Amino acid sequence: MDHRLEESAGVGRSVAALDGLLPPAGAEGLSAPPALTVWHVAGWVALAGLVAGAAGLDAAHGWLAGVSSAPVRAHGSLILLALALGCEFMDSALGMGYGTTLAPVLIILGYPVKAIVPAILVSQLLANVSVSFFHHRLGNVDFWKDRQTRNAGVIMGAVGMAVSVATMLLAVRIQARLLRIAITSMVIGIGLFLLLASRFNIRFRMRNVGILAGVAAFNKAFSGGGYGPLVAGGQVLVGLPARAAVVTTAIAEAIVCASAVVAYYASGRTIPPYLLVPLLAGALLGTPLGALTLRRLPEAVTRRLMAAAILALGTYALIQGKGV
């Protein structure tokens, strides 16, 4: 009897010790997220319904297209709204996928390539600010306590700022045909990177983050996409937790987008409202969904599927002649 009691006590101590090593229920040792109530869901659904209704009315009457002196596209605002929401959902959950996926889709749909890039940059700038708030609010990261995530985002954003400004000033002067080639080539390359990255045993330290941020900022400012796959993927490869990598990317990308947008407007160009308004509305609607998904679900399978989708879109664009 004494032997069984001692054995039971030993098992209890082992379980207690193991329990102390394991993260609390919820995910990876983070504090419990705020409860999702029916009012949160109802509020989002109501807001989404109002925005979709407004997009539907604009699609029927062509108000934004009229302001922009652009041809009215069938269901244009609704399509743009849905595309932005879906792409931002992926980006908010995985730190990648908004501009990378949205730019080639809009090229395939026939939107002006020189209007696509700045519209994506502006919409993602505000979406990154929004999703950073939701990541903090839902407990994916604590900006007040996690200095590594906060500082890494600011450092990468600062390094990428000068690169993005110079690149954006170059991009607005390049021929549309060359810009299409660059966009589709980068999309295919990024897709391959995402598919093959797990096979590479890459080790880099924080001093290499500046190089990574500079290359990614060039892609972002030049094509409207490609930032997340390089920055978020690279950080995960060196051992940064996936949640921290996603949040760090959102912070850095917001800084890069802001500098690129300033450079674009400084060049004397404007963004047509028929493209910007629906993209901005859809992107903002997608941020809370993506942040909540990051909190609840693993991202490995979704990342592979996204890589396959990026490759398919880039290949399709080349086959259809949109990128050559």
Q: How far is CA 67 from CA 58, 111, 191, 272, 277, in A?
A: 11, 16, 37, 8, 12
Does residue 29 surpass a pLDDT of 90?
A: no
pLDDT band at 157 (very low <50, low <70, confident <90, very high): confident
Share of the chain above pLDDT 90, in %: 23
Structure tokens at 51: 């925005």
State whether the Cα torsion 295-92-105-301 is positive or negative.
Answer: negative
Closest CA to 306 of 223, 194, 193: 194
Output the pLDDT for position 27: 41
Distance of CA 237 to the CA centre of its chain: 18
Output the pLDDT for position 194: 64
pLDDT band at 199 (very low <50, low <70, confident <90, very high): low
Residue 264 lies in a domain: yes
Residue 131 lies in a domain: yes
Residue of 24 and 123 predicted with greater confidence: 123
Q: Can you spell out the DSSP letters for 236-302?
A: HHTT--HHHHHHHHHHHHHHHHHHHHHHHHHTT----HHHHHHHHHHHHHHHHHHHHHHHHS--HHH
Is the pTM for the entire model greater than 0.85?
Answer: no
Residue of 137 and 319 predicted with greater confidence: 137
Residue of 151 and 174 predicted with greater confidence: 151
Output the pLDDT for position 282: 97
Mean pLDDT across 48-60: 93
Host domain of residue 149: 36-319
Residue 102 lies in a domain: yes
Q: At what angle do helices 242-266 and 147-171 cross, to 10 degrees?
A: 30
Mean pLDDT across 286-315: 77
Helix, strand, coil percentages in the chain from 3-state DSSP, rounded to 5: 80, 0, 20
Q: Give whichever of 118-127, 135-144, 210-219, 224-233 has the largest mean pLDDT.
A: 118-127
Euclidean distance between CA atoms 294 and 10, whole angstroms: 38
- Segment 97-117, tens digit of pLDDT: 898 789 888 988 889 888 898
Mean pLDDT across 6-24: 40
Residue of 119 and 231 predicted with greater confidence: 119
Output the pLDDT for position 23: 38
Does residue 77 surpass a pLDDT of 60?
A: yes
Mean pLDDT across 122-150: 89
Question: Helix, strand or coil for residue 145?
Answer: coil
Q: Give whichever of 78-82, 167-171, 237-241, 311-315 has the largest mean pLDDT.
A: 78-82
Q: Can you spell out the DSSP letters for 203-228?
A: ---GGGHHHHHHHHHHHHHHHS--HH
Residue 12 lies in a domain: no
Share of the chain above pLDDT 70, in %: 71
- Segment 234-284, tens digit of pLDDT: 676 666 677 888 888 898 889 888 888 887 888 788 889 999 999 999 999
Mean pLDDT across 177-193: 71
Residue 115 lies in a domain: yes
Under 8 Å between Cβ of 164 and 217: yes
Average pLDDT taken over every residue of the chain = 77
Residue 262 lies in a domain: yes
135, amino acid identity? H
Strands (E), the chain: none
Give the count of domains, the chain.
1
Element (H, E) at 157: helix 147-171
Under 8 Å between Cβ of 146 and 295: no
Under 8 Å between Cβ of 128 and 250: yes
Structure tokens at 4: 């069984």
